[in-house]
C-alpha cells in the first residue's frame, strides 16, 4: 500500500474514531502513570529510593524461583552497577533454607510477628492463620535503608538493602523500567475495562461503516433506465436516515421527470410519422432530379431517427423481459444476410465466423436482432471501401463485431453508449444505435463492451447470460 493510499484513509470515519480513541487512552496513561512518576522530585532527600526498590525486587524475584540460587545475586549486573557508585552499599537476603550477604553485616531488625490474620484454608495463598509481612524503611549511618519480610512458614523471607546514597539510574531509565515492570495482575481490571470499551466502540463504528458501504454498493447498482430505484432505509444509523430519505425522494422526482421525458420523446416520434408519410407522398409528385433525390435522402434520415427514438423509448419502458429460447447463430446469420447487400454496395467484406450451428440463449429474438444489426450498421458507417467487417459467434454466447475504422478514443469510450453520441462526431447517423444496443443488453441482463482492436478499428462484444 502506497503512502498516498494510506493518507487517503484520513477521511474514513472508522479510522478517525479509532485514532481518537487511541489518543484518549494515551492521554489517560500519561496523565495517571507517566506524569505522576516524572513530576516526582528527582533530587529530593531520598533520590536513591528507586535503586533500593530495584535491588529488593531483584532479590525477591530470585527467592520466588523454584530453583532459587541466592549466590547468583552476587553476579547480577544491576546490583554490581549500584555497588560501584555506592561504597557503603550492602544487602542481606535470607529464606528458610538459604541466605546471602553482600557488603557489611545484617542488622536483623526486630519486626512484628503477627499483623495479618487469615482463615487457614487449603487453597489459601499463605499456609498460616497469623503472619507478618511488609516493607519498612530504616536508617543506617544517616542513610535510608529498606527491609522486606514475610514470616509465614513455607513462604518466609527476610531482605535488607542499605547504603545507597547515589542513584545509578537516569530519570529516563527509571521511567522505562517503571513502564516495562507494570504487572497485568495489577492493571487487569483497567485493561479489561479499556479493552471492553475499545471493542464495543470498534464494533459500533464497524457496524455503522458497514451499513454505509452496503448503501454505496446498492447505489452503484442503480440503473437509470429502470424504475423504482431506492436506497434501503433500514439498518442505518439514525443520523444518516434523513439523508437517505431525502435522496430517495430526489430519486423519485428524477424518475418521474425521466418518465415524462421518455413519454415526450415517444409521443413526438409517433406524431412525426404522419407528416413524414405525407411528405413522402407529396415528394413523388415532384419532377425527378437532384433536389428530389436529396429530399428523399433527408426524409429517409428523419424517418430513421424517428424509428430509433421510438425503439429506444419502448426498450426503456419495458420493466421485465419474458425470455424465450433463441438460437444466437440463426439470429446473427439473418442479420448478416440482411446487411450483405449494403456491404457489397459499399465495397466491404462482411464475414460471419462460427464453428457451431447452435448457440442457445434466452431472450427476445427481435430485440437481440436489433442489437446485433445496430452493431453491424455501426461498423458499416465507419468502414472504407475494401475493409473487412468480422462478426464472430462464440460457444459461450458472445457476439463480436469488429471493423477496421478509426476506433474510439479513451475519453469517448463510455460516451459512445449515450444517446446522440457519435465517434467520430462527423460520421453519418444520429448516435442512437449504440444506446439501443446497451438498452437491449440491460434488459437481457447482459453487457456490451468496446475496445480498440490491434492494428486499428473497433471491436464490440455482446455478452449474453447462459441459457438456463
**Beta-carbon count within 10 A of 249 CB:** 11
Looking at the structure, tell me whether residues 459 and 325 fall in a common domain: yes
Looking at the structure, tell me whether residues 349 and 311 fall in a common domain: no
Q: What is the mean pLDDT of residues 413-425?
A: 66
Is the pLDDT score of 172 beyond 70?
yes
Residue 266 inside a domain? The answer is yes
The Cα–Cα gap between 170 and 182 comes to 19
Closest CA to 456 of 411, 417, 406: 406
- Cell numbers of 344, please? 457489397
pLDDT in tens, 18-52: 777 778 777 777 766 666 555 554 444 456 888 88
pLDDT at residue 399 in the model: 92
Is the pLDDT score of 15 beyond 80?
no
pLDDT at residue 270 in the model: 57
Residue 161 inside a domain? The answer is yes
Residue 404 inside a domain? The answer is yes
Looking at the structure, tell me whether residues 354 and 449 fall in a common domain: yes
Is the pLDDT score of 460 beyond 50?
yes
Question: Which of 182, 202, 231 corresponds to the end of one domain?
Answer: 182
* Position 397 confidence tier, pLDDT thresholds 50, 70, 90: confident
Residues contacting 404, CB < 8 A, separation 6+: 383, 384, 387, 388, 389, 455, 456, 457
* Position 92 confidence tier, pLDDT thresholds 50, 70, 90: very high
Looking at the structure, tell me whether residues 324 and 459 fall in a common domain: yes
Looking at the structure, tell me whether residues 120 and 178 fall in a common domain: yes
Q: Rounded to 10 degrees, what is the CA torsion of 458, 464, 466, 467?
A: -140
Looking at the structure, tell me whether residues 297 and 381 fall in a common domain: no
Quote the distance between the C-alpha of residue 117 and its chain's center: 60
Residues contacting 433, CB < 8 A, separation 6+: 308, 374, 375, 377, 378
pLDDT in tens, 282-310: 767 777 777 777 777 666 666 666 666 66
Give the CATH number, domain containing residue 350. 3.30.565.10
Looking at the structure, tell me whether residues 339 and 358 fall in a common domain: yes
Looking at the structure, tell me whether residues 326 and 454 fall in a common domain: yes
Looking at the structure, tell me whether residues 291 and 365 fall in a common domain: no
The Cα–Cα gap between 26 and 24 comes to 5
Residue 113 inside a domain? The answer is yes
Looking at the structure, tell me whether residues 350 and 275 fall in a common domain: no
pLDDT at residue 419 in the model: 64
Residue 421 inside a domain? The answer is yes
* Position 161 confidence tier, pLDDT thresholds 50, 70, 90: very high
Residue 296 sits at φ, ψ, to 5 deg, of -60, -40
* Position 238 confidence tier, pLDDT thresholds 50, 70, 90: confident
Residue 347 inside a domain? The answer is yes
The domain tally of the chain equals 3
In which domain, by residue range, is 259 found?
241-316
Residue 10 inside a domain? The answer is no
Looking at the structure, tell me whether residues 63 and 142 fall in a common domain: yes
Question: Which of 261, 286, 316 corresponds to the end of one domain?
Answer: 316
Give the CATH number, domain containing residue 250. 1.10.287
Question: Which of 154, 182, 210 corresponds to the end of one domain?
Answer: 182
Q: Give the mean pLDDT of the chain.
A: 76
Looking at the structure, tell me whether residues 156 and 278 fall in a common domain: no
pLDDT in tens, 175-186: 777 666 655 444
CB 59 within 8 A of CB 160: no
- Cell numbers of 330, please? 440463426
Instruction: Give the side-chain half-sphere CA count within 13 A for 301.
Output: 10
Residue 3 inside a domain? The answer is no
* Position 173 confidence tier, pLDDT thresholds 50, 70, 90: confident
The two beta strands, 349-353 and 388-393, are parallel
- Cell numbers of 147, please? 527491609
Amino acid at each position: 500500500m502506497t503512502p498516498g493510499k494510506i493518507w487517503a484513509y484520513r477521511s474514513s470515519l472508522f479510522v478517525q474514531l479509532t485514532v481518537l480513541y487511541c489518543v484518549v487512552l494515551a492521554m489517560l496513561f500519561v496523565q495517571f502513570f507517566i506524569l505522576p512518576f516524572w513530576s516526582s522530585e528527582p533530587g529530593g532527600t531520598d533520590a536513591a529510593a528507586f535503586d533500593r526498590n530495584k535491588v529488593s525486587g531483584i532479590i525477591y524475584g530470585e527467592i520466588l524461583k523454584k530453583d532459587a540460587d541466592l549466590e547468583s545475586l552476587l553476579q547480577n549486573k544491576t546490583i554490581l552497577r549500584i555497588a560501584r557508585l555506592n561504597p557503603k552499599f550492602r544487602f542481606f537476603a535470607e529464606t528458610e533454607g538459604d541466605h546471602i550477604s553482600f557488603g557489611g553485616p545484617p542488622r536483623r531488625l526486630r519486626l512484628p510477628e503477627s499483623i495479618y490474620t487469615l482463615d487457614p484454608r487449603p487453597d489459601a495463598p499463605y499456609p498460616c492463620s497469623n503472619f507478618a509481612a511488609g516493607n519498612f524503611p530504616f536508617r543506617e549511618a544517616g542513610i535510608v535503608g529498606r527491609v522486606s519480610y514475610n514470616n509465614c512458614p513455607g513462604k518466609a523471607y527476610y531482605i535488607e538493602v542499605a547504603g545507597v546514597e547515589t542513584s545509578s539510574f537516569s530519570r529516563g531509565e527509571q521511567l522505562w523500567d517503571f513502564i516495562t515492570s507494570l504487572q497485568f495482575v495489577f492493571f487487569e481490571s483497567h485493561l479489561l475495562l479499556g479493552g471492553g470499551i475499545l471493542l464495543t466502540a470498534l464494533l459500533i463504528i464497524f457496524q455503522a461503516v458497514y451499513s454505509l458501504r452496503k448503501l454505496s454498493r446498492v447505489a452503484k447498482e442503480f440503473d437509470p433506465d429502470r424504475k423504482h430505484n431506492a436506497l434501503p432505509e433500514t439498518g442505518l444509523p439514525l443520523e444518516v436516515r434523513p439523508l437517505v430519505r431525502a435522496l430517495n425522494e430526489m430519486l423519485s422526482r428524477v424518475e418521474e421527470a425521466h418518465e415524462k421525458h421518455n413519454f415526450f420523446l415517444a409521443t413526438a416520434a409517433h406524431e412525426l410519422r404522419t407528416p413524414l408519410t405525407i411528405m413522402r407522398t407529396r415528394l413523388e409528385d415532384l419532377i425527378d432530379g437532384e433536389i428530389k433525390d436529396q429530399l428523399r435522402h433527408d426524409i429517409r434520415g428523419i424517418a430513421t431517427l424517428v424509428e430509433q427514438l421510438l425503439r429506444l423509448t419502448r426498450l426503456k419502458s419495458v420493466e421485465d423481459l419474458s425470455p424465450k429460447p433463441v438460437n444466437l447463430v440463426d439470429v446473427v446469420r439473418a442479420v448478416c444476410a440482411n446487411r450483405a447487400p449494403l456491404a457489397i454496395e459499399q465495397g466491404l467484406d462482411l464475414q460471419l465466423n462460427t464453428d457451431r450451428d447452435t448457440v442457445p440463449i434466452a431472450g427476445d429474438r427481435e430485440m437481440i436482432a436489433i442489437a446485433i444489426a445496430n452493431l453491424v450498421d455501426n461498423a458499416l458507417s465507419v468502414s472504407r471501401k475494401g475493409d473487412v467487417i468480422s462478426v464472430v459467434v462464440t460457444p459461450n454466447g458472445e457476439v463480436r463485431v469488429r471493423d477496421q475504422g478509426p476506433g474510439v478514443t479513451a475519453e469517448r469510450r463510455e460516451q459512445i453508449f449515450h444517446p446522440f453520441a457519435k465517434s467520430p462526431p462527423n460520421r453519418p447517423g444520429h448516435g442512437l444505435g449504440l444506446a439501443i444496443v446497451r438498452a437491449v443488453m440491460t434488459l437481457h441482463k447482459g453487457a456490451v463492451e468496446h475496445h480498440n482492436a490491434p492494428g486499428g478499428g473497433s471491436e464490440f462484444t455482446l455478452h449474453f447470460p447462459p441459457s438456463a
